């Protein structure tokens, strides 16, 4: 059996820091969606567990023991062993198309894809292990990446509620090729906690979603800009693009997104921005407003 799985970019359409736990983790309220764009994880049977990495951002990510994909595989194997279920090996190959440590959950999406793919490869009986629980031990964004559908996220990332209906909308993702440390950004946050931003009703079209989101924020944007001022430049550049409905940073940065109503506008915006800022990573993709299957229809070979 040879499997190829999508590990899609996770975007925080808004992110409110609503409190702090005694252990230092922050309580969040966030609307998380996925872009139809991401890394690919190929999984082949093997007696041992191995990982190789290629792709445009592959060089920046060592396939070392602490790689989140290998940690996910080992955590799943340990959870299976605890239930007297056998885990075999696997040869994992990650094609890294998303910038690393960039606020769009690349590592978490890769680890989620590993957990889902390995349960298939190893034929783990349905319900034998709690993947979200295993995932949460690896990172706060793992549960939502496993759910792979638009969700309101609460707690530190473990409480998920399906989002109300969202319209078709196009996303422009921009990373100025700087990495920011998530703990450093959380630490730099100042001021009062926010109220939750979530809502109940479906939104009919792209401008309605953008208008609703404009009443929320990413509370990590200001601290991230304090650490990497170029993030502020990215947001300004996005806001100046014709057709831009909203510009915001995702997660703890540095990747920012712009929202656009249609595919032609986002294509033109991407072309224009790559002329103005040839060194930035720029990608456009539709937002997935329903479940984002891990299945990959590209040939397995």
Asked if residue 270 lies in contact with residue 283, where contact means CB atoms within 8 angstroms, the answer is yes
- Of 108-147, binders to ligand C5P (CB under 6 A) are 139-141
The verdict on whether omega for the bond into residue 254 sits within 30 degrees of 0, i.e. cis, is yes
Q: How far apart are the first and last CA of the chain?
A: 11
With respect to ligand C5P, which residue has the nearer C-beta, 152 or 280? 152
Report the nearest approach of ligand C5P to the CB of residue 24 (Å).
6
Residue in 167, 164, 168 with CA at minimum distance from that of residue 202: 164
Catalytic residue among 29, 141, 201, 205: 141
Residue matched to tokens 């969202």 = 166
182 binds ligand C5P (CB under 6 A): yes
Angstrom distance (rounded) from CA 115 to CA 187: 30
26 binds ligand C5P (CB under 6 A): yes
Report the nearest approach of ligand C5P to the CB of residue 281 (Å).
21
194 binds ligand C5P (CB under 6 A): no
141 counts as catalytic:
yes
Residue matched to tokens 């103005």 = 276
Give me the torsion for CA of 246, 252, 256, 259, rounded to 10°.
Answer: -30
Pattern 196-235, binding to ligand C5P, x per CB under 6 A?
----------------------------------------
Catalytic residue among 10, 29, 39, 110: 10
Provide the CB-side half-sphere exposure for 135 (13 A, CA).
26
10 counts as catalytic:
yes
Report the nearest approach of ligand C5P to the CB of residue 287 (Å).
22
156 binds ligand C5P (CB under 6 A): yes
Given CA atoms 188, 192, 198, 199 in this order, what sign does their dihedral have? negative
Chosen residue from 25, 91, 158, 272 binding ligand C5P by CB under 6 A: 25
Residue 59 burial (C-beta neighbours within 10 Å; 0-12, 13-18, 19+): exposed
Report the nearest approach of ligand C5P to the CB of residue 9 (Å).
15
With respect to ligand C5P, which residue has the nearer C-beta, 91 or 159? 159
| Residues that constitute the known binding site for ATP | 99-109
* Catalytic sites, residue numbers: 10, 141
Binding footprint of ligand C5P on the chain (CB under 6 A): 25-26, 28, 139-141, 156-157, 182-183, 186
């Amino acid at each position: 059996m040879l499997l190829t799985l999508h590990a899609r970019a996770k975007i925080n359409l808004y992110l409110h820091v609503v409190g702090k736990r005694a252990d230092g983790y922050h309580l969040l309220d966030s609307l998380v969606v996925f872009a139809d764009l991401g890394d690919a994880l190929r999984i082949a049977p093997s007696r041992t567990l191995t990982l190789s990495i290629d792709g445009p951002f592959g060089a920046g990510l060592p396939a070392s023991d602490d790689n989140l994909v290998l940690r996910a595989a080992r955590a799943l194997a340990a959870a299976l062993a605890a239930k007297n279920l056998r885990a075999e090996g696997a040869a994992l190959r990650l094609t890294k198309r998303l910038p690393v440590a960039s606020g769009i959950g690349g590592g978490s999406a890769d680890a989620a894809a590993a957990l889902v793919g390995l349960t298939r490869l190893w034929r783990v009986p349905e319900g034998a292990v709690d993947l979200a629980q295993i995932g949460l031990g690896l990172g706060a964004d793992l549960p939502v990446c496993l759910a792979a559908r638009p969700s309101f996220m609460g707690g530190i990332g473990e409480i998920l509620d399906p989002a109300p209906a969202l319209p078709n909308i196009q996303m422009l993702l921009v990373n100025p090729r700087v990495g920011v440390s998530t703990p450093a950004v959380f630490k730099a946050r100042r001021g009062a906690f926010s109220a939750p931003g979530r809502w109940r009703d479906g939104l009919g079209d792209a401008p309605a979603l953008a208008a609703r989101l404009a009443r929320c924020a990413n509370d990590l944007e200001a601290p991230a800009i304090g650490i990497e001022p170029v993030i502020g430049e990215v947001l300004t550049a996005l806001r100046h693009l014709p057709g831009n409905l909203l510009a915001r940073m995702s997660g703890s940065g540095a990747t920012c997104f712009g929202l656009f109503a249609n595919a032609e506008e986002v294509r033109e915006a991407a072309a224009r921005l790559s002329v103005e800022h040839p060194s930035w990573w720029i990608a456009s993709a539709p937002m997935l407003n329903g479940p984002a299957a891990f299945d990959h229809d590209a040939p397995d070979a």
